[in-house]
Structure 1
Amino acid sequence: MDEVQPLRISSEPAQLQALEPMLEAVSELVGDVPALLEVAKDIAQTVPHPGEGSTAKLWEVLASVTAVDVAAGRVLEPHLDAVHILSQAGHPEPEGAWGVFAAEGPGLRLEATRDDAGNYLLNGSKPWCSLASQLDGAVVTAHLPGDQGRAAFAVNLKDHGVTCETPQWSSRGLREIPSGTVHFHHVPATILQGPGWYHQRPGFAWGGIGVAACWLGGAVALARDFGGSLSKAADNGRDPDQVALAHLGEIDRLISSSTALLARIAEQIDGHQPGTGPSDWSMAQRARGTVAAAVERIQTLVTQDLGPGPLAFNETYGKRMADLALYVRQHHAMRDDAQLGALVFKGEREW
């Protein structure tokens, strides 16, 4: 099995071949986060932005990198998302490596206030800030005074008022990408548009689908592991039994349907006119839920068939399984389905 085989969503084979040198570079840098951040910066120079006519190509890049290594995809995706957010807000492409910190947590709150000159300052704490100590900047959401809600800000993470906690990361998954709490003390920040813009813009939903493309890439890598194992056994005279073939067939269906859905949604996003067709959020929940379910099912099928051996002795396979299991938990399962169900109930459906 070729570890740097690109993942196709809608591109022609010749277009996908152009990704191979980049994927080779990623393959050689697995585990080296600073080097992967440099690759992410290079990729951001050429990769298309979502909603600009080549959304499927963007997702192919994300999925293909994650198929090489799930953590590498987890490094790439937030940098591209940050670059896209700044572009959507009318800001120039940032220098250095960036992230997006928009999570909220119990007992933690990040607030934006204004000084006498009218400049914004951030004070408080933000949870789940992946790679914060290794990044140059981030798009960060913070609460505005009064009842104005939240807004997104561009922040220099090298400011002396920024303190990055080193989390006690006990998980086997995504060990090179711990997500800790970042504390802000009078940190200057540039507001991006206005209150509510970050969550209301179409790109918020599109970015969520980009994460789903990463999940799909990880699942495809596991499927390739499985297919390669079956082929190796067959070469040694042990053909797959009907159960293994049934699992391989189901995996193929899951990947094919998930890929087709992403291709169709990419088309809808690129041709979308405001006020027509399904909403961006219903498309995002549909894509994320479908891919997350496929990922979990593929993990179950592959691990059942391959058994404990590769989990115990194959570092690449074991890392991939653990990384993907943690990454896909960004999907909130039935709670996200409930959000989609509410939209469907209001008429957000195509059936």
Structure 2
Amino acid sequence: MNRPVLLDSDTPAAARQALLADLAHRAAATEGSVDAALDLLAPAEALAPLPGTGATVRLWELLATLGAADLTAARVIEPHLDALAILAQAGLDSAGSTGSAAHSWGVYAAEAPRLRLDARPEGGGWRLAGTKPWCSLAAQLDRAVVTAHTGAGTRRAFAVDLRHAGVSPGRGTWASRGLAGVDSTPVDFTAVPAVPVGGDNWYLTRSGFAWGGIGVAAVWFGGAVGVARRLAAAGRDREPDQIALMLLGQADAALHAARRVLAAAAADVDAGRANGPDGALLAGQVRAVVADAAEQVLRLAGHGLGPGPLTGEEDHARRVVDLQVYLRQHHAERDSAALGRALLTAGGEPW
């Protein structure tokens, strides 16, 4: 079950596959524990090329492999790798950006009604004040890339030390049964020193923003692969009837389409075809295809496996509910509407 998830026919070297398999085994052994997943940041980072540097497919295979093994581990590691990519794209490094070596990173860029985080220049530097929503694991991570308002209609990314006394993570508001250990709560910032990461609005307009969004879709894909592997195992445990074969075939078709889309997107990123608006459009397309495939696999597995694994198998039950929560990072019909608007704005007909 914990073998690597590969995306293209250009098979990685045997040594890398062995390291991926070992990481998958260790991720599965975390069994939803955030603390155990944090111990995997270093080995995952060692296997993770930066996106857009010629090996993007290897990065997304790593994320998919983690997603298939344990979605909590993937949810801990993916933003850490994304933060390192953001810092690299801004010409910073993870140690020098906050004045000390950082062991773990998060990325907090969500917005919510009635909550606002502002950045103001002070004494030759910057300070953050206000509240940021949806800050996953803020009480357990060392550093984060955080977006804050710098003026009317402008936001900027900043690197911050989450151990600073002015950082106050919320507690007791995360009721989720999926990704249960990945507390995502509002965080209050009071005069917290911050290091700029790029200029105003750079965070959202850089090509890497779209690439990071596709990386998240690679995790969804991996989670769906994990669910589908359980469906396939059922077909090997006993002679499948026509309905079981149909469900397995439909799952395979959905995953095949998603895998090919991810592999093609990785090639586009490395070839320079996914920069600027083209990259944003591509990210919308890939995320929609992968999210639809994952939701289809969840439905097919539910129909094919029945209640038994959901009620009697801890790893399968956790994977299903984790994936359901993780997929809500895709905004479903709203993201489809945004994709339609992007197509009209781009002009022409891509089909």
Task: Say whether the fold is shared (TM-score over 0.5).
Answer: yes
> Is 1:160 the counterpart of 2:165 in the alignment?
yes
TM-score by length of 1: 0.93
Moved over 3 A (4+): 273-276
Q: CA deviation at 1:350?
A: 3.2
> Is 1:102 the counterpart of 2:101 in the alignment?
no
Conserved? CA contact 2:126–2:194, under 8 Å: yes
Amino acid at match of 1:183: D
Unaligned runs of 5+ in 2: 96-101
Matched residues in 1 for 2:191 and 2:228: separation? 48
Worse-matched range after superposition: 328-337 or 86-95: 86-95
Matched residues in 1 for 2:211 and 2:113: separation? 27
After superposition, residues 181-196 of structure 1 pair within 5 angstroms as 181-196=186-201
| CA RMSD in angstroms, aligned pairs only | 1.6
Matched residues in 2 for 1:286 and 1:304: separation? 27
- After superposition, give the CA deviation of every residue in 1:139-184 in whole Å (9 maximum; x if it has no partner): 0000003x25100000000001000111332221001111011100
Q: CA deviation at 1:16?
A: 2.8
Conserved? CA contact 1:282–1:348, under 8 Å: no
> Is 1:150 the counterpart of 2:155 in the alignment?
yes
Amino acid at match of 1:127: P
Call closer, same or farther: CA 1:349–1:58 in 2, change over 3 Å.
farther
After superposition, residues 1-351 of structure 1 pair within 5 angstroms as 3-10=1-8, 11-12=10-11, 14=14, 15-94=16-95, 95-115=102-122, 117-145=123-151, 147=152, 149-233=154-238, 239-272=239-272, 279-345=278-344, 346-347=346-347, 350-351=350-351
Worse-matched range after superposition: 72-81 or 161-170: 161-170
Conserved? CA contact 1:167–1:181, under 8 Å: no
Unaligned runs of 5+ in 1: 234-238
Identity of paired residues, percent?
A: 43
Matched residues in 1 for 2:19 and 2:170: separation? 39
Matched residues in 1 for 2:244 and 2:215: separation? 31
Matched residues in 1 for 2:136 and 2:240: separation? 41
Call closer, same or farther: CA 1:348–1:289 in 2, change over 3 Å.
farther
TM-score by length of 2: 0.93
Matched residues in 2 for 1:53 and 1:77: separation? 19
Residue 144 of structure 1: SS of its match in structure 2?
A: strand
Residue 39 of structure 2: SS of its match in structure 1?
A: helix
Amino acid at match of 1:256: H
Matched residues in 1 for 2:275 and 2:61: separation? 28
Residue 139 of structure 2: SS of its match in structure 1?
A: helix
Conserved? CA contact 2:269–2:275, under 8 Å: no
Worse-matched range after superposition: 267-276 or 27-36: 267-276
